[in-house]
C-alpha cells in the first residue's frame, strides 16, 4: 500500500507542479491554455499557482524526510479543496470539459489524503 501511495503522491505532485508553475510564473501561457485565467485577476491566478506549488512540496517532502509526515495528507486535503473550488468555477462558467481534469486531480489528492491519514 505504501508504494501505491507514493506513486499517487508523485503523480499528484508532478501534476500540481506543472499547473502551479504555469499559473505562478508563466501567466501568459496560463491564459493561452485556460480560458478562465483571462477573466480572473492575475494576482489570484498567481496565488493559486503558488498554493499548488507549496502543496506539491507538502505532498512529498514531509513524508520523504519523515519530518512531520502528517503534513502530507494535510497538503493533499488542501490541494483537493483548491481543485474543488476550481471545479465550481468551471461549473459556473459552463466549462464542463475542464471538470474532468479537476476530477482526476481531486481523485489523486483524495487517495493520498485518505491513505496517509489512515
1 — pLDDT class (breaks 50, 70, 90): confident
Q: Which residue has the cell 517532502?
A: 61
pLDDT of 28 over the 90 cut = yes
| Maximum distance among all Cα pairs of the chain, rounded to whole angstroms | 42
Q: What is the pLDDT of residues 46-55, one digit of tens each?
A: 999 999 999 9
14 — pLDDT class (breaks 50, 70, 90): very high
- Give the single-character DSSP code of 70: T
Q: Give dist(CA 56, CA 72) in Å, integer.
A: 9
Cell numbers standing for residue 65: 524526510
Does pTM top 0.75 for this prediction?
yes
- Cβ(1)–Cβ(115) under 8 Å? yes
The average pLDDT across 6-25 equals: 97
Whole-number mean pLDDT of the chain? 96
Amino acid at each position: 500500500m505504501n508504494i501505491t501511495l507514493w506513486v499517487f503522491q508523485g503523480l499528484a505532485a508532478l501534476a500540481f507542479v506543472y499547473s502551479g508553475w504555469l499559473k505562478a510564473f508563466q501567466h501568459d501561457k496560463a491564459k493561452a491554455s485556460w480560458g478562465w485565467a483571462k477573466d480572473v485577476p492575475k494576482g489570484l491566478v498567481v496565488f493559486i499557482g503558488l498554493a499548488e506549488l507549496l502543496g506539491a512540496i507538502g505532498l512529498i517532502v514531509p513524508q520523504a524526510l519523515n519530518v512531520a509526515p502528517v503534513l502530507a495528507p494535510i497538503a493533499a486535503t488542501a490541494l483537493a479543496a483548491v481543485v474543488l473550488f476550481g471545479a465550481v468555477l468551471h461549473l459556473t462558467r459552463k466549462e464542463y470539459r475542464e471538470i474532468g481534469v479537476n476530477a482526476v486531480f481531486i481523485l489523486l489528492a483524495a487517495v493520498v489524503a485518505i491513505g496517509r491519514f489512515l
